[in-house]
């Protein structure tokens, strides 16, 4: 509470100029990450999670992308809108990044060892052979067997899980204070996922490194994160501790996500409830709450005005962008009741 946060993002807004018009991919996102903390950003495809972190790294293609508002400070230093040279002072050094698809995220014509060593050469000025040796150590650290031999191989000679380990080794080369993992396990099978998450957790704990974990897999969140932001249609709609989000979920969308998730507790015969409909068109985001058209509890105000964050009464840092949390709003069961009556009457 007392220390300034490691990363502070405020009002981040990102747009993409496309063939069909301007897509407002991220619409005013705020969050903070404390040192040594694992924060997860969850949400369905296209909700803006990847764009959020990629714009922090300055790697969204510009044009068509542009950051129209907001700031992001790492230890007080602004990250957004930097020249490549200035940005490179933290990219790869202060912030490491892992991508979704390890198969395509490594240069196919360069050996794994060279690619890892490259980071060290550029940021630490370590000469070639020595950097390569360090690369082998990093590969060993990520539990790649026969690391020395593996370092001289090319990406196509690696399996997906091994490649993601190499990616992790590469992103950790300069011991960054923050690691951004953009859906690191989505492209991998479940056993490899588990191994990798354990690996990340161990390494994170060892170095007291902060992690931003992007995922749409709630199981992964529960397993690794301490803090969670739920994104929907380019906005964070609920954030709080992992317990808050899982056990005190306040936003209907979060509730929806949870009921769409398989569980091994309780009634096995119970079918999963998908959330009906699809996210709004971000070419012209709705006036009100983005989730209102799909929300079973939508009220008049929801279609007219975007809700602000309402803090949880017990003040744990859990906040929700939902009119249902407004002090004078009706409680959910009674609303559900009236909703039902309304639809029956129609």
Among 122, 194, 199, 222, binds other proteins (CB under 8 A): 122
User: Is there binding between residue 277 and other proteins (CB under 8 A)?
Assistant: yes
Instruction: Identify which of 220, 242, 219 has the alpha carbon closest to the alpha carbon of residue 229.
Output: 242
Nearest approach, Cβ of residue 246 and other proteins (Å): 26
Residues of this chain, 7-36, that bind other proteins according to CB under 8 A: 18-20
User: Is there binding between residue 305 and other proteins (CB under 8 A)?
Assistant: yes
Nearest approach, Cβ of residue 154 and other proteins (Å): 4
Among 32, 71, 75, 339, binds other proteins (CB under 8 A): 339
Nearest approach, Cβ of residue 321 and other proteins (Å): 11
Q: What is each CA distance from 295 to 2, 144, 146, 290, 326, in whole angstroms?
A: 38, 46, 53, 9, 16
Among 119, 134, 200, 249, binds other proteins (CB under 8 A): 119
Token look-up 């991220």 returns 26
Nearest approach, Cβ of residue 222 and other proteins (Å): 27
Among 6, 138, 181, 302, binds other proteins (CB under 8 A): 302
Q: What is each CA distance from 79 to 37, 162, 174, 189, 236, in whole angstroms?
A: 20, 31, 18, 34, 20
Which pairs count as long-range contacts for 255-260, CB under 8 Å and 24+ apart, including other chains? 256/294, 257/42, 257/218, 257/230, 258/218
Rounded CA gap, 309 and 306, in Å? Answer: 10
Nearer to other proteins, 208 or 341 (CB): 341
Among 17, 146, 157, 243, binds other proteins (CB under 8 A): 157
Alpha carbons within 13 angstroms on the beta-carbon side of residue 144 total 29
**Span from 1-9, 82-90, 196-204, 245-253 in contact with other proteins (CB under 8 A):** 82-90
Q: What is each CA distance from 148 to 80, 107, 129, 138, in whole angstroms?
A: 38, 19, 13, 11
User: Is there binding between residue 125 and other proteins (CB under 8 A)?
Assistant: no
Q: How many residues bind other proteins (CB under 8 A)?
A: 67
Rounded CA gap, 192 and 69, in Å? Answer: 38
Contact letters (x/-) for other proteins, 279-298, by CB under 8 A?
--x----------xxx--xx
36 φ/ψ sector (left φ>0, alpha ψ -120 to 50, else beta) = left
Rounded CA gap, 259 and 93, in Å? Answer: 40
State the CB neighbour count (10 A cutoff) for residue 85.
7
Contact letters (x/-) for other proteins, 32-71, by CB under 8 A?
----------------------x--xxx-x----------
Among 22, 154, 203, 248, binds other proteins (CB under 8 A): 154
Nearer to other proteins, 199 or 301 (CB): 301
Nearer to other proteins, 263 or 278 (CB): 278
Instruction: Identify which of 39, 158, 173 has the alpha carbon closest to the alpha carbon of residue 96.
Output: 173
User: Is there binding between residue 179 and other proteins (CB under 8 A)?
Assistant: no
β pairing state of 210-215 and 178-182: parallel
User: Is there binding between residue 146 and other proteins (CB under 8 A)?
Assistant: no
Q: What is each CA distance from 273 to 42, 73, 176, 215, 238, in whole angstroms?
A: 18, 39, 40, 20, 20
Interacting residues with other proteins (CB under 8 A): 18-20, 54, 57-59, 61, 84-85, 87-93, 96-97, 99, 101, 104-110, 118-119, 122-123, 154, 156-157, 167, 170-171, 276-278, 281, 292-294, 297-306, 308, 323, 326, 328-330, 335, 338-339, 342-343, 346
């Amino acid at each position: 509470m007392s220390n300034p946060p490691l990363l502070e993002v405020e009002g981040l807004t990102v747009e993409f100029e496309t063939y069909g018009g301007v897509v407002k991919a991220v619409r005013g996102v705020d969050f903070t990450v404390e040192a040594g903390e694992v924060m997860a950003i969850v949400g369905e495809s296209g909700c803006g999670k990847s764009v959020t972190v990629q714009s922090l790294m300055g790697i969204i293609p510009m044009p068509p992308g542009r950051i129209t508002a907001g700031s992001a400070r790492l230890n007080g230093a602004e990250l957004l809108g930097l020249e490549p040279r200035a940005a490179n002072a933290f990219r790869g050094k202060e912030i490491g990044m892992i991508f979704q698809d390890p198969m395509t995220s490594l240069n196919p014509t360069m050996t794994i060892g060279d690619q890892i060593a490259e980071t060290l050469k550029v940021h630490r000025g370590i000469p070639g052979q020595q950097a390569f040796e360090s690369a082998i150590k990093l590969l060993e650290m990520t539990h790649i067997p026969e690391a020395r031999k593996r370092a001289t191989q090319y990406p196509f000679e690696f399996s997906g899980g091994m490649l993601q380990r190499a990616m992790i080794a590469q992103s950790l080369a300069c011991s960054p204070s923050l690691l951004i993992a953009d859906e690191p396990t989505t492209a991998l099978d479940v056993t490899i996922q588990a191994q990798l998450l354990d690996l990340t957790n161990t390494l994170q704990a060892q170095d007291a490194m902060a992690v931003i974990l992007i995922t749409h897999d709630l199981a992964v969140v529960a397993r690794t994160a301490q803090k969670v932001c739920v994104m929907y249609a380019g906005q964070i709609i609920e954030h709080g501790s992992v317990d808050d989000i899982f056990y005190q979920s306040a936003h209907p969308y979060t509730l929806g996500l949870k009921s769409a998730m398989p569980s091994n507790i309780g009634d096995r015969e119970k079918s999963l409830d998908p959330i009906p409909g699809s996210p709004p068109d971000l070419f012209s985001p709705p006036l009100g709450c983005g989730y209102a058209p799909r929300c079973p509890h939508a009220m008049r105000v929801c279609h007219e005005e975007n809700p602000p964050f309402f803090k949880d009464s017990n003040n744990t840092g859990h906040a929700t962008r939902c009119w249902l949390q407004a002090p004078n709003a009706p409680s959910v069961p009674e609303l559900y009741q009236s909703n039902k009556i309304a639809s029956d009457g129609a």
